[in-house]
Structure 1
Amino acid sequence: MVSYVFRLAAANALARPTTLLRALGEPLNGYPSAPMIHDRDVILNASALARLETFTGLPAAQLRTALPGLSTPRADPLLRTGPTTRVFSSAAIRDHCHPCIARIPGRPQVRVHGGEVPSICRRHRRWIETTNNHPDQIDLSGNIEIITAHRRLDRLRSTVGDHAWVREQLGHAGAAVLDWHLARVRFSPSYYAFKNLHARWDKRAATLPQSKSATSLLVLPEAVALTEILCDLEWRRRVAMADYDHEVAPFYRHVGRRLGQPERFGDRLAYSNRIDPLKSWVIEHRKRFRAVREEHWHRVHTHRPYNPHFSNAIIPTIRHFK
């Protein structure tokens, strides 16, 4: 919002970029300043939004489409009828795609909210989801795998609908894959388990800049593939309801197949004594549903007469395992 208003002020040749922002309404918690474009934004009440409509000549619906921050109505806590603005800070504010900005006359500073715009500029094949710790935008034109993986992640979010839950599973998957990426101690069991993945990542790394920002991108295709599995309610149920711990091995083999690894990859994960983030997820997931699992198998084992189909008949539906 601040970035847009500052650009609007510059387009109208206003001497100070804050002039137009101040004209939108009475500031409730501090006066506008030029540096606020870096890590602050503003909330408008209904009257201030009406003024923005007047200044731009655009209806509120169109403004909300262009500025997603306006799409959520926010009540004025002081219940003022006049136009007011409220400043808030956000670590998610970042630059838009630099080549896209370069195409705009005057190269204005365009700032966006990370959660409201794509992480990849499709036109320039560029990773633009920067943070304070990883400030570099990254050219992905030499690595279509990462772009494809990000599209799959977008489809997964759209299919599941619960973006926060998908983000949580991506966090688990990313931690697991990064752990495998770092398991490079020679002659250790994990070194041989992940040797094929290491070769794949080393080849992919040649297409990316030598930057800490590129590390999470390097393993993104594998992290997304694992996220798809962790979001699969059928597999979540199978892991949770396996009667014995060793019966979880098919899950690890499925992970190996999805990652394009040989069968022994899954067996090494399943039967290794090393507790990596993926195995930790399995342990916690099974612990979460222990009562449900024990009740289910108690009913199966004590049912008389024995019926081989009884277990499937009474197993909880997949919706319980999210």
Structure 2
Amino acid sequence: MPPVAAELTGSWLRRMALASGLPAQDLVRGILNGSQTVQITGTPKTALEAYLNAPARSALARFTRVPQSRLYELLPQLGPTHPRLSDDGGPQAAWFTPAHAWVTACPQCTARAWSRRQPVLLYPGSVGHICRRHRRWLLANAHGPASVPLGILPEVMAAHRRHVALVRGVAGAAGAVAVAAAMVWSWLAQQWWIGDKLWSRRAAALASLTGCPAVSVAAHALIAYPETISVAALLSNPQWQQRLRQSASDDGLRAAKAMALEDIGRWIGRPWLVDWLTADARTRRPGAEERDPLQWWLGQLTGPNPSPGDLWCVPDSLARPVHYGDRLTFLTDLRVREVIDGAKAACLTGGWEPVPHRPSPAGPHHSSR
């Protein structure tokens, strides 16, 4: 039983255990058992992902008869060794919370590996959150299939095609998406989504597909996904960046920002964006510009000797909040507890997110998708 590409190591071990008729912990202990004492931290009931040290990875390869090099290709978190484990001594394993977002695989695409008792769990990487073949946004549910059909949301599928092209054609595309997400979030957080026809329609569609109130789904990444990808494509365009640099040099940063907003507004189908934000800025507290992701990005772009990496490392204080509940606090006047339960039941609070760019940890076997 080989692993599925990008599968959680813990997911694969659970599937092998189910096929063998064993508890997952007993399977792991059996794989690692030898002349040396086996050390296992945690249990499959307490966390989803399994981490192995170097001796344990070697034992896994021997047991499954799959070369380690192939396992590293298929299992993104198999190596390097987790910081809480050591390669000294005998084999070690640990069950920890996954370090990255994960989703439940499309059951049609993984039919041979699928089981009702143990679904295939995957790391979506940059663009694996949508199954293009079956037109579904994949959600995170460790107990069964979970996804959103996108037949009534063709703009989301179109955005995913642009997203894939962006990742393939632009270095640092994930960082550009993170910065774009921060910008779009800064507008969404002003409860713009309530009056915006496109966002309101998507929220209503997602609510009807999941059985949740619209306010419960408003914090999901799907709502602003098309605009986020459009803005990311614009931000990563070298010709557009040069136009902004020239505008800032000739007329100052304020003029460059006005130009950027006009272009973004046209690009995402909101030509009124610059007027709306200008009017809104008059009522905001002093210092609001310092918390504006677009203002920050323009400062990076037009600063002295900017490096490409500087454009995409959005500060945590400006980034789109990672946790679903944190985002909900900006989008509703209701208590979060009153609206988040429905989102949790519909598996909307986990899964893929346009997370801020962070340097990849060094390691001989680290890989990212």
Whether TM exceeds 0.5 here: the answer is yes
Of structures 1 and 2, the one with the larger relative CO (CA 8 A, separation 6+) is 2
Structure 1 residues 204 and 10: alpha-carbon distance in aligned structure 2, compared to 1, 3 A threshold = closer
TM-score (norm: length of structure 1): 0.69
Structure 1 residues 138 and 149: alpha-carbon distance in aligned structure 2, compared to 1, 3 A threshold = same
Structure 1 residues 50 and 91: alpha-carbon distance in aligned structure 2, compared to 1, 3 A threshold = closer
| Other structure's SS at 1:23 match | helix
Aligned residues: percent identity?
25
**Stretch moving more, 282-291 or 154-163:** 282-291
Q: Is the 8 A contact 2:173 2:236 kept in 1?
A: no
Q: Among residues 176, 198, 201, which one is paired with 2:199 in the alignment?
A: 201
AA aligned to 2:235 is L
AA aligned to 2:88 is R
AA aligned to 1:113 is Y
Q: Distance in 2 between matches of 1:237 and 1:105?
A: 49
Q: Distance in 2 between matches of 1:20 and 1:202?
A: 48
**Stretch moving more, 167-176 or 231-240:** 231-240
**Post-superposition offset of 1:258:** 0.8
**Post-superposition offset of 1:11:** 1.4
**Stretch moving more, 137-146 or 211-220:** 211-220
Structure 1 residues 79 and 97: alpha-carbon distance in aligned structure 2, compared to 1, 3 A threshold = closer
Q: Distance in 1 between matches of 2:69 and 2:63?
A: 15
What residue ranges of structure 2 are gaps of 5+ in the alignment? 1-8, 312-369
Q: Distance in 2 between matches of 1:84 and 1:5?
A: 15
Pairing 1:145–2:155 present: yes
Q: Among residues 8, 23, 26, which one is paired with 2:30 in the alignment?
A: 23
Describe the superposition over 1:122-141 as per-residue Cα deviations: whole angstroms up to 9, x where unpaired.
Answer: 33322124489xx9632212
Q: Is the 8 A contact 1:40 1:87 kept in 2?
A: yes
**Post-superposition offset of 1:111:** 2.6
| Other structure's SS at 2:207 match | coil
Structure with more helix by fraction: 1
**Post-superposition offset of 1:147:** 1.8
AA aligned to 1:219 is A
Describe the superposition over 1:198-254 as per-residue Cα deviations: whole angstroms up to 9, x where unpaired.
Answer: 233344445433443464312211121112223334444544534332354322221
Match of 1:308 in 2: none
Q: Is the 8 A contact 1:173 1:224 kept in 2?
A: no
Q: Distance in 2 between matches of 1:52 and 1:291?
A: 50
Q: Is the 8 A contact 1:252 1:270 kept in 2?
A: no
Computing the radius of gyration from Cα coordinates, the structure with the larger value is 1
Q: Distance in 1 between matches of 2:192 and 2:303?
A: 36
Q: Distance in 1 between matches of 2:178 and 2:126?
A: 18
Q: Distance in 1 between matches of 2:310 and 2:86?
A: 43
Describe the superposition over 1:139-193 as per-residue Cα deviations: whole angstroms up to 9, x where unpaired.
Answer: 2122221022123223323333325523431332331352466365xxxxxx6xx
| Other structure's SS at 2:206 match | coil
Match of 1:229 in 2: 234
Q: Is the 8 A contact 1:177 1:223 kept in 2?
A: no
Q: Among residues 4, 24, 35, which one is paired with 2:12 in the alignment?
A: 4
Describe the superposition over 1:265-306 as per-residue Cα deviations: whole angstroms up to 9, x where unpaired.
Answer: 4455457634688992343345557774xxxxxxxxxxxxxx
Q: Distance in 1 between matches of 2:95 and 2:121?
A: 16
| Other structure's SS at 1:217 match | coil
AA aligned to 1:145 is E
Q: Distance in 1 between matches of 2:123 and 2:86?
A: 26
AA aligned to 2:295 is I
TM-score (norm: length of structure 2): 0.61
Q: Distance in 2 between matches of 1:22 and 1:291?
A: 55
Describe the superposition over 1:50-88 as per-residue Cα deviations: whole angstroms up to 9, x where unpaired.
Answer: 222222222222222221222546689644353322333
| Other structure's SS at 2:49 match | strand
